[in-house]
Structure 1
Amino acid sequence: MWSLIFLFIFSVSAEDSKTVELDSGWVEGKKYWNGDYYEFYGIPYASVPTGRDRFKAPLPVTPWENVLPASDTNKRCKQCYHTDASDEDVVLDGDEDCLVINVITPLIASETNPVPVLVYIHSGAFSGGTGNMAKFTYLARHDIIVVSFNYRVGAIGFACLGNEEIPGNAALKDQVAALRWIKRNINKFGGDPDKITLAGFSVGASMAELLALSKASDGLINRLILESGSALAPFTINRDPVSTAWNIAQAMGYNGTANIDELTEFYLNANIKDLALKSLNYFLPNSTFGFAPCIERDQGLERIVTESPLDTLRKGEFKKIPVLTGFSNMEGLSRSIKFGTWREEMNENFADFLPADLKFKTEDEKNEVINKIKKYYFNDKVINHESLKNYIDYFSDVMFKYSIMKSAQLHSSMSNNPVYLYEFSYVGKLNIQHNYMDRIKGASHRDQTAYILDFYGFTNNYKDLTTRDRMTTMWTDFAQYGNPTEYESALLTVKWPSYTEKSPMYLEINKNLQVKKGLFTEGFKFWDQIYNKYHWDPQPVSPEIILPRKDQITAEVLKAETKKQSLPKESNNDEQDIKGKQLISDNIENTTDNSSKGQSKNKKEEQNTSGENRMDKQPTLKSTTTKTKRGKDGKIVKEVITETNQKTEKADNDTNDTKDIKENPQNEKLKTDENIENQSTLKKTTTKIKRGKDGKLVKKVITETYQNGNKVQTETETKNTKDNK
């Protein structure tokens, strides 16, 4: 009898763990506490190259001999976050060797009874996050395997100089390595290697679609789920990654020349904490984040992104697989935290808030688009506290809705496989708590994902639980059948039709499920007209520095943004680690507004360097500005800046042979504005050249004369006949 009891106890104990033989060694997972599934955390799928190779593609994992306990839930790639102590108290966390994968497998799964596989790419604004930033409890209960993994983030994952040392897209190459690992090994866990659904939320969705469009993932994925993100979003592709790297390097203290080799050496030897810190704080008005994926240059190595994703979709040269995609009805709520300061700045210089994937040949074109936007969203009125809904609509549309709808339209028109489109508008306990809950009710960015994954939020509300059950059922049915409503039930009382251009049907997910027609039709038409004319088609990165670019965020802006727009000390976001050890952010949704009048003033001073003035294809126009100030030694220094639409040249007063220097033969230093009245006479001349409404070039000369503390300004305009010819 005792032997039987012992045998029974041993059998139960043995079932509490599961060992799996992989191509690199044995791993052991543990049964979840309620006995629904086994969990494997922290399995190495690739190795991070180190030293001078740290920006390159991952290496094969080193095999291990003993059974590896797959229980490390804290492994993450190098990233920074703020502690509760102070805004200046930044902690670097994570490991450089961080490429691990997590597998949640139900008890019924086996090699003889394989189940579908759902792979999630985490979010984090390309600068943070981890495969364990959410739990997959509710998905795994639907008899599917759920997989998540880490990839390199920030500069290490996304710096792109287009040369051998920093070719770009290291993070995407990590993700491809993870997908290849899954294809090779998932059957050992009981997964079906021919039913792999790739999913992502926010930037995770953007990268998931980039991978789906890439030939590098051929044969690795069979379905695609995109939640609040698209490869066509303005933040997905960095149009000028070399300038981004230059500006961020300057914010880190780089004082080298504009030489790609010197810049490369700086990054190869940069402190990892500095790189991580400068990577996590880009909550920028033009809907970008700093480091992001790039179009890779052909160097004879495997590339993930070889051309503009829009071009790939238009040509139809991508995997034709079922797609489920959509967004929340008020995605722009994620930016409501900036409403207090941005509404003033939008009135002063709306150009800063244009999406970064628009490009204009002239200022007139840009101003025409700005005027259209102001009329469409704000009725040509001043943006004030009553404009909150309009402000939310603008960012909802420009950052998410248009690009997601465009992607859905192209997938549908180029493929015979179905596209399922949704709008999530349910508001419950798991939604992100934003600043204007009393005034605005709607679902914010990534809210739908909180009802699919477990971001450590708890609810016992019946409607919340029903919404969660519906969404996890539809998502897992899609992974299983390629159809989210394969079977109707008391829970799923509707049949979700596919979306086509002729029959633009979609599913509204609220307290009830409703099939509707014509999602975002008017807004899509508005933005499609603009993008058809002014879309900035990204090109493969060129390993050269052309500085400065007025459409890039400068080092001064980055330094300011590092302090005021970094990850928050406190957050109501469900992506917050309950242990308080890590704060993960999409930066779209999760930024503390430390704005003030002083910051607003700084923003005005930065507008000239962070605007959207893109004149690349114009004839060479020239503008010379003379800046004067008094140095620490009390002497006067003059700096002459010659700007063209191609590059900017700076010259000190001892090297630049100009008329102004002749007028100052003693090479004295011109002084700062606050003390300028103490000088007897000073003159500052600024020459600007622009194209007038008649298409001809006009030169404006602005002369400012300071005499005994009084300022006199004169302006003259002349048409430059020679240049116009």
Structure 2
Amino acid sequence: MNIAMLLRIVTAVAVLALCRCDEGEWKEVRISQGVLRGRKDPEGPYAFYNIPYATAPTGPDRYKAPLPPPTWSQPRDAVDEQVACFQGKTPYATVDTMKEDCLIANVFVPKTKEKNLPVMVYVHGGAFEMGSGNMWTPKYLVREKNVIVVTFNYRLGVQGFLCLGTEDAPGNAGLKDQVALLKWVQKNIASFGGDPDNVTILGFSAGSISVNLLMLSKSAEGLFTKVVSDSGVSVSSFATQIEPLEKAKNYARMLNFHDVDDFYALKAFYKNTPLKSLVTGTFFDIKNVSLIFYPCVERQTDKEAFLTEAPINIIRNGNYKKVPVLVGVDNMEGLVQMSNFERWKSDMNENFSDFLSVDLQFGSEKEKKEIAQKVKEFYFKGKPVSDETVLDYVEYFGDVMFAYPTLRTVRLQVENGHDQIYLYEYNFADEQTPVVPHTNVRGADHCAQSMAIFDGVQFVTSDESNLTPEYKRMKATMRDMWYNFAVYGKPAPEGSPLPAWPATDASGSPYMSLGREIELRNSFYKRSASLWDGLYQKYYREPRPPQPPKDRTDL
């Protein structure tokens, strides 16, 4: 017997043994599309990966709402293929894993015979430009709390959020994907043991903005019962595009297409250029607190519109279903902009007005510069932006991007009858938390609260054995609170050993401080609120739908 034949025999025996020992590790579930086979994860739950929940239109139709998902006649192995939607160079996707038709879901199910389990649907973040449903995993949460967690992809960047106001590029394709996913959950989650009448949607950063907008959209009404919003709200400068057509033009120029003032040429460029050629990796170095592509207010072009009013007006009119909301920020959200610090500090000293939020509009450039100087004085106290004032830099971006928009949104909601909102600030930091550059100060970075809930970042081990005892306790407490909210609509229900946590009022009182000590506090971000209240009362401009030319009907 030669060595090659011996190797084939040994391999065949090994495969047979593997199949036999794995027989009890698989779980079959029949959903509306066919039979799925999920596998028990070494860390606890059964995992069903790569489930098509809808079909993304491709080619010239790529910006339209999603189509129904495929069906299959033979059992489908629901294994992880790391599928991601098109995005620039990021840690979350490769050339081999990015697909134009990328709409897949992952379902994590605890090993239990119980039925009607609470369901959490997790919307990933990534500035609406990057990420996937595999960014963070929920295995500890599922194993410890007997909850079903669904993660998923949605279209990103130009594919998901180009907004021309036409029937073939109306806007918000990525959010329409999210609605399709929630409809899929309603239709199929009972097959996994979940309760379709107890679905909590939660997200961080862009995912947090998404769940806020889902709460305001009539197209998603009735598809969930609670909302958890970690670092991002619907009334912020990068929740809805102020001028969608200008965004589309500017992006086209970046791609060396310059006939942007001819609307029909612009539309043809986006429809006919291969998607791979429309994706760049540049999106988070924009000075005016915005992004490249993100949600928009749509023209009413068809029945599938997701958002046809500015979020602020929907809230003011109270014209949405007011489900319980758990919402908050981290105490050093502005660390998200530290990668730009060295490049931006001199620019901020020379022309701070470039860094004012895009949703503020002034009567003249002189007035804008005068206001910018007042804001810079408020945060930097007469000192230049430098290594010595890096904490002021962090505070400024944390306030303008996350803290103040959160307070403003919550205030508007409470003032208009939304009385089940639980507000928090997450500020936990231990010796494993990196210090802020040029200081010996530690704080909670952007989305640190979500990292406390979930296992770890994609491609990084989820092993928690090397964490400090303090952080282990913090993660356990956070998981208790978020699970309680998913089950009861309150993070600390009656009879819980956790500190009492009442709903907030319009002033941001009380809110829960989540750190080494868990304690109620009053007046959420009161110091900066007075400054921004005055500016937004006078200078705020609402996002509006795109207005393409009216001289033709084939839009």
Global fold match (TM > 0.5): yes
Q: Deviations over 1:617-654 (max 9, x none)?
A: xxxxxxxxxxxxxxxxxxxxxxxxxxxxxxxxxxxxxx
Q: Aligned match of 1:26 in 35, 59, 74?
A: 35
2:254 — aligned with what? 251
Q: List aligned pairs for 1:638-653, cutoff 5 A.
A: none
Give 1:345 deviation, angstroms.
Answer: 0.6
Asked if the contact 1:78–1:92 (Cα under 8 Å) also holds between the matched residues in 2, the reply is no
Bigger Rg, structure 1 or 2: 1
1:477 — aligned with what? 484
SS at match of 1:40: strand
Q: Take 1:502 and 1:126, find their aligned partners in 2: how far apart are those partners?
A: 30
> What amino acid is aligned across from residue 451 of structure 2 in structure 1?
A
Asked if the contact 1:39–1:103 (Cα under 8 Å) also holds between the matched residues in 2, the reply is yes
Q: Take 1:166 and 1:76, find their aligned partners in 2: how far apart are those partners?
A: 21
1:221 — aligned with what? 224
Q: Take 2:158 and 2:368, find their aligned partners in 1: how far apart are those partners?
A: 31
Give 1:368 deviation, angstroms.
Answer: 3.3
Q: Take 2:207 and 2:256, find their aligned partners in 1: how far apart are those partners?
A: 31
Q: Aligned match of 2:121 in 119, 122, 147?
A: 119
1:153 — aligned with what? 156
Give 1:292 deviation, angstroms.
Answer: 1.0
For the pair 1:38 / 2:51, whether they are aligned, the reply is no
Give 1:32 deviation, angstroms.
Answer: 1.9
Unaligned segments of structure 1, at least 5 residues: 1-8, 84-89, 546-725
Q: Aligned match of 2:130 in 128, 131, 154?
A: 128
Asked if the contact 2:230–2:450 (Cα under 8 Å) also holds between the matched residues in 1, the reply is yes
Q: Take 1:257 and 1:498, find their aligned partners in 2: how far apart are those partners?
A: 49
Q: Take 2:328 and 2:209, find their aligned partners in 1: how far apart are those partners?
A: 12
Q: List aligned pairs for 1:537-576, cutoff 5 A.
A: 537-544=542-549
Give 1:502 deviation, angstroms.
Answer: 6.5
Identify if the C-alpha distance between structure 1 residues 434 and 268 changes in structure 2 by more than 3 Å, giving closer, same or farther.
farther
Identify if the C-alpha distance between structure 1 residues 257 and 228 changes in structure 2 by more than 3 Å, giving closer, same or farther.
closer
Identify if the C-alpha distance between structure 1 residues 64 and 525 changes in structure 2 by more than 3 Å, giving closer, same or farther.
same
Q: Take 1:295 and 1:416, find their aligned partners in 2: how far apart are those partners?
A: 23
> What amino acid is aligned across from residue 259 of structure 2 in structure 1?
G
Q: List aligned pairs for 1:469-618, cutoff 5 A.
A: 469-486=476-493, 492-501=497-506, 504-544=509-549
Asked if the contact 2:122–2:150 (Cα under 8 Å) also holds between the matched residues in 1, the reply is yes
> What amino acid is aligned across from residue 542 of structure 1 in structure 2?
Q
Q: Take 2:508 and 2:160, find their aligned partners in 1: how far apart are those partners?
A: 40
Give 1:488 deviation, angstroms.
Answer: 5.2
SS at match of 2:229: strand
For the pair 1:388 / 2:395, whether they are aligned, the reply is no
Identify if the C-alpha distance between structure 1 residues 503 and 74 changes in structure 2 by more than 3 Å, giving closer, same or farther.
closer
> What amino acid is aligned across from residue 29 of structure 1 in structure 2?
G
> What amino acid is aligned across from residue 413 of structure 1 in structure 2?
E
Q: Take 2:431 and 2:275, find their aligned partners in 1: how far apart are those partners?
A: 38
Q: Aligned match of 1:333 in 332, 335, 338?
A: 335
Q: Which structure shows the bigger proportion of residues in strand conformation?
A: 1
Give 1:383 deviation, angstroms.
Answer: 2.6
SS at match of 1:274: helix
Per the normalisation by structure 2, the TM-score is 0.90
Asked if the contact 2:412–2:506 (Cα under 8 Å) also holds between the matched residues in 1, the reply is no
Asked if the contact 1:58–1:170 (Cα under 8 Å) also holds between the matched residues in 2, the reply is yes
Asked if the contact 1:76–1:94 (Cα under 8 Å) also holds between the matched residues in 2, the reply is yes
Q: Deviations over 1:208-244 (max 9, x none)?
A: 1011110011110110000011111211111111111
> What amino acid is aligned across from residue 521 of structure 1 in structure 2?
K
Identify if the C-alpha distance between structure 1 residues 170 and 384 changes in structure 2 by more than 3 Å, giving closer, same or farther.
same
Give 1:92 deviation, angstroms.
Answer: 7.3
SS at match of 1:79: coil
1:105 — aligned with what? 109
Q: Take 1:371 and 1:128, find their aligned partners in 2: how far apart are those partners?
A: 34
Q: Take 2:31 and 2:369, find their aligned partners in 1: how far apart are those partners?
A: 59
CA RMSD of aligned residues (A): 2.2
1:411 — aligned with what? 413
For the pair 1:266 / 2:274, whether they are aligned, the reply is no
Give 1:282 deviation, angstroms.
Answer: 3.2
Asked if the contact 1:115–1:145 (Cα under 8 Å) also holds between the matched residues in 2, the reply is yes
Identify if the C-alpha distance between structure 1 residues 281 and 503 changes in structure 2 by more than 3 Å, giving closer, same or farther.
closer
> What amino acid is aligned across from residue 513 of structure 1 in structure 2?
I
1:712 — aligned with what? none
Q: Take 1:59 and 1:430, find their aligned partners in 2: how far apart are those partners?
A: 46
Give 1:281 deviation, angstroms.
Answer: 2.8
Give 1:97 deviation, angstroms.
Answer: 1.4
1:192 — aligned with what? 195
1:95 — aligned with what? 99
Q: Aligned match of 2:381 in 368, 379, 382?
A: 379
Q: Take 1:194 and 1:243, find their aligned partners in 2: how far apart are those partners?
A: 41
1:320 — aligned with what? 322
Q: Aligned match of 1:461 in 459, 464, 468?
A: 468
Q: List aligned pairs for 1:39-118, cutoff 5 A.
A: 39-81=47-89, 93-108=97-112, 110=114, 113-118=115-120
Give 1:93 deviation, angstroms.
Answer: 4.7
Identify if the C-alpha distance between structure 1 residues 438 and 361 changes in structure 2 by more than 3 Å, giving closer, same or farther.
closer
1:348 — aligned with what? 350
Identify if the C-alpha distance between structure 1 residues 464 and 303 changes in structure 2 by more than 3 Å, giving closer, same or farther.
same
Asked if the contact 1:77–1:152 (Cα under 8 Å) also holds between the matched residues in 2, the reply is yes
Q: Deviations over 1:305-361 (max 9, x none)?
A: 111111111111111110000001111122123222312111111111001111112
Q: Take 2:72 and 2:192, find their aligned partners in 1: how far apart are those partners?
A: 18
1:206 — aligned with what? 209
Per the normalisation by structure 1, the TM-score is 0.69
Asked if the contact 1:430–1:450 (Cα under 8 Å) also holds between the matched residues in 2, the reply is no
Identify if the C-alpha distance between structure 1 residues 218 and 442 changes in structure 2 by more than 3 Å, giving closer, same or farther.
same
Q: Deviations over 1:92-144 (max 9, x none)?
A: 7501111011111112255xx21111111001111110001111012212011
SS at match of 1:118: strand
Q: Deviations over 1:506-529 (max 9, x none)?
A: 111111211111221121121111
SS at match of 1:444: coil
SS at match of 1:59: coil
SS at match of 2:408: helix
SS at match of 2:108: strand
Asked if the contact 2:41–2:47 (Cα under 8 Å) also holds between the matched residues in 1, the reply is yes
Q: List aligned pairs for 1:617-656, cutoff 5 A.
A: none
Identify if the C-alpha distance between structure 1 residues 301 and 472 changes in structure 2 by more than 3 Å, giving closer, same or farther.
same
Asked if the contact 1:169–1:294 (Cα under 8 Å) also holds between the matched residues in 2, the reply is yes
Q: Deviations over 1:169-212 (max 9, x none)?
A: 11011111001100111111111111111110011101110111
For the pair 1:303 / 2:305, whether they are aligned, the reply is yes
Identify if the C-alpha distance between structure 1 residues 60 and 422 changes in structure 2 by more than 3 Å, giving closer, same or farther.
same
Q: Which structure shows the bigger proportion of residues in helix conformation?
A: 2
> What amino acid is aligned across from residue 545 of structure 2 in structure 1?
P
Q: Take 2:113 and 2:152, find their aligned partners in 1: how far apart are those partners?
A: 20
Q: Report how many residues are paired.
A: 524
For the pair 1:238 / 2:247, whether they are aligned, the reply is no
Identify if the C-alpha distance between structure 1 residues 315 and 142 changes in structure 2 by more than 3 Å, giving closer, same or farther.
same
2:284 — aligned with what? 282
Give 1:82 deviation, angstroms.
Answer: 6.1
Identify if the C-alpha distance between structure 1 residues 196 and 242 changes in structure 2 by more than 3 Å, giving closer, same or farther.
same
Q: List aligned pairs for 1:695-714, cutoff 5 A.
A: none
Q: Take 1:500 and 1:12, find their aligned partners in 2: how far apart are those partners?
A: 56
2:8 — aligned with what? none
SS at match of 1:402: helix
Aligned sequence identity (%): 37
Q: Take 1:445 and 1:171, find their aligned partners in 2: how far apart are those partners?
A: 22
Unaligned segments of structure 2, at least 5 residues: 1-17, 551-555
